[in-house]
Structure 1
Amino acid sequence: MNVLEKNTEGLSSLAIITFWYGKYPWYMPYFIHTCKFNPTVDFIIITDNTAIIPDKPENVKVVYKTLEEFKERASVKLGFTVAIETPYKLCDFKPAYGFIFPEIIQKYDFWGHGDIDMAYGNIRNFMTAKILNEYDIISSRNDITTGTFLLYRNNIKMNTLFMQSRDYKQVYTDPEHYCFDECNFLFTELDRGDSILDYPNNVQSMTYLAVKGDKEGHFRAFFDYIIVQGMSNNIRWDNGIIIYDDRFECMFYDLIKYKVKCKNKTVTYPIPEVFYFNKNGINKNSFWKLLSLKIKAKISKNDNKISA
């Protein structure tokens, strides 16, 4: 079957919700392009940007809401006035998206939250029927619940899981960012192998709730490192698949560092079927191919000088 053909027979339905306020970023066309290659997943962008998104596929849905409208909606649904001064604060609200917008997620078996600064590989190669049948909350890293991609089974228990945190009202009534969707900034500790349950005095983040709930048998939580992050010259997008180091397939590439550090922030049209994330920019040739072409051009130039 062509990767762009939509065949959902026997598949759990998935929706990924992303918020964006303001002008769309330079890498937006690549995000949209990689969404298109996941036709059995719906991507819902909630935004105040009314600009037409070029080449937007059918599975990318746009819902127009201002930040003020979100604040009002969240306050009504939660029963108290929320504090949001900047769009970045919405990261803390990611676990509550399903509760705040039940009409958006009602037809899906799973809903999740994501970001725009990412390039998707083949989501269904990782979110398999076995995984979706067995687990209720699904992360894309082995140590934390990932704000960039986290799936929840669409039921009352999981849609209100964030309320099990003793601190969620504090988080939602304070404009400061708490990293509530992930681990309340315990990245170093968890990366070295500590358990988040060893930090009971920290804000009870979603990682804390997921680990605790799974340990106590209330639901099943899936943690595995199935993404690629950071800067590298060895990341290839190939007809809907992300390949790292020519060996490892990944579910997506998190562009959080790449979008800032890459030198050339331009988009090549039409977007090719194969492209590489090089330090110099996104290119249809690999870093090593570009280096080889550069060396050959330099040698040719020197040869011409000698001939002259």
Structure 2
Amino acid sequence: MKTAFLCPYFGTFPKHMQLWINSCGTNNDTTFYLFTDDKQNLNYPDNFIVKYTTLEELKDFFQSKFDFKISLSGVYKLGDYKPLYGYLFEDLIKDYDAWGYLDVPDEICGYVSEFVNEEAFKDVDKLMTRGHMTIFKNTPEINRRFMADTGEMFNYRDIFSSEHFFNFEEIAKGSISWIYVNNKWNMNLLNDAVADVSGLFYDFRRSCISDKLEYYRPSKAPSIYAREDGKVYGYFLEKGQVVKREYLYLHFKRRKMQINVPLEADKYLIVPSGFEPYKEVTDDVIKHYAKKKWFYPVFWEEVKKSIVRKFTKNNGR
């Protein structure tokens, strides 16, 4: 099936941007639409369509789709708009079977069609529930489901006329995922396909999402990841044995990744500190890279940000 990803990104690309582009570029049956104001010279593969624009221009385009004044004062608010892309870019994606959104700076893609296919969409219209990647069937009705009852004291008009961030793209109350739950529209969570490692801890700790839209961690096994032959693999040390699993993508939330491989590389290790030259993954290699840091400052920074966001949002409604 043909899938389109819609990817606005404003500001300076991260230093590992070419690695992200290359990881997407091996998916010949998937198109990546990148909307950006960064015009630096990068090697874009044939399945990329880059549209140079500004956040203000994109806001004007979004505004043309609504009969009320919308708010899009900064890039952070773009997260709320992700589930609307099928509606907002309807003409652009009319020839695709499915569309999705994904994060640009903090993930490496594997082989999309291995996981996003007719079998995955059997009896469902939505794959995954995460802001860093979610995919929908492409129909006019599905693309307008964001307008349905949120189950909360606010609706989509309240969300998109407010400057506050509602986390509409993920699993917060009133989000697109809760709209699906409240209306009994089925979703495929694809937990086994997603390597979502927490940004709160130095070592990689993969999380999943339950049917109740709650996070949980399926394993405490030490782990690292690798990009090999156009795919993403996780290596886990379980009961003294190295276990290898394939994933749709690896998401490494807001990590400061060191780049110790050429930017054109397509085979490398992905470890908590960054990108490292590929080597055969043994138990010793996993132990070397998967060490914990008990005093990891990012944890406390994120806790502080979370408290500030909740306080600001609750006092602004």
Corresponding residue of 1:170:
158
Amino acid at match of 1:148: H
* Structure number with bigger Rg: 1
Amino acid at match of 2:77: K
For 2:285 and 2:137, the matched residues in 1 are separated by 44
Out of 44, 48, 59, the residue aligned to residue 33 of structure 2 is 44
Out of 236, 251, 255, the residue aligned to residue 226 of structure 2 is 236
Amino acid at match of 1:106: K
The Cα RMSD (Å) is 2.1
> SS at 1:277's partner residue?
strand
Contact 2:233 2:245 in 1 (8 A): yes
Answer 1 or 2: which has greater helix percent.
Answer: 1
Percent identity of paired positions between Structure 1 and Structure 2 = 22
Contact 2:127 2:134 in 1 (8 A): yes
For 1:269 and 1:48, the matched residues in 2 are separated by 21
> SS at 2:68's partner residue?
coil
Contact 2:111 2:232 in 1 (8 A): yes
The two structures have a TM-score, normalised by structure 2, of: 0.73
For 1:21 and 1:267, the matched residues in 2 are separated by 25
Contact 1:98 1:105 in 2 (8 A): yes
Out of 127, 130, 137, the residue aligned to residue 146 of structure 1 is 130
Out of 13, 17, 24, the residue aligned to residue 6 of structure 2 is 17
List alignment gaps of at least 5 residues for structure 2: 198-202, 205-222, 236-242, 289-317
The two structures have a TM-score, normalised by structure 1, of: 0.75
Matched, 1:113 2:80: no
Closer, same or farther: CA 291–270 of 1 in aligned 2, 3 Å = farther
Corresponding residue of 1:278:
271
- Cα deviation 1:81-113 (Å, max 9, x = unaligned): 111111111000001112112221111111111
> SS at 1:104's partner residue?
coil
For 2:249 and 2:59, the matched residues in 1 are separated by 30
Out of 265, 268, 275, the residue aligned to residue 262 of structure 2 is 268
> SS at 1:95's partner residue?
helix
Count of residues paired in the alignment:
249
Task: Summarize the alignment of residues 60-139 of structure 1 with structure 2, pairs less than 5 Å apart.
Answer: 60-116=48-104, 117-139=106-128
Out of 24, 43, 52, the residue aligned to residue 35 of structure 1 is 24
- Cα deviation 1:106-132 (Å, max 9, x = unaligned): 111111111112101111111132223
Corresponding residue of 2:246:
249
Closer, same or farther: CA 242–76 of 1 in aligned 2, 3 Å = same
Amino acid at match of 1:137: K
Answer 1 or 2: which has greater strand percent.
Answer: 2
Out of 203, 213, 223, the residue aligned to residue 189 of structure 2 is 223
Contact 2:170 2:177 in 1 (8 A): yes
For 1:18 and 1:100, the matched residues in 2 are separated by 13
Closer, same or farther: CA 269–105 of 1 in aligned 2, 3 Å = closer
For 1:234 and 1:127, the matched residues in 2 are separated by 24
Matched, 1:53 2:20: no
For 1:111 and 1:74, the matched residues in 2 are separated by 17
Contact 2:260 2:276 in 1 (8 A): no
Closer, same or farther: CA 93–270 of 1 in aligned 2, 3 Å = closer
For 1:247 and 1:290, the matched residues in 2 are separated by 12
Amino acid at match of 1:81: K
Residue 289 of structure 1 and its aligned partner are, at CA, apart by 4.9
Amino acid at match of 2:227: W
Residue 178 of structure 1 and its aligned partner are, at CA, apart by 0.8
Amino acid at match of 1:224: L
Amino acid at match of 2:175: S
> SS at 1:108's partner residue?
coil
Out of 205, 209, 220, the residue aligned to residue 179 of structure 2 is 209
Residue 269 of structure 1 and its aligned partner are, at CA, apart by 4.2
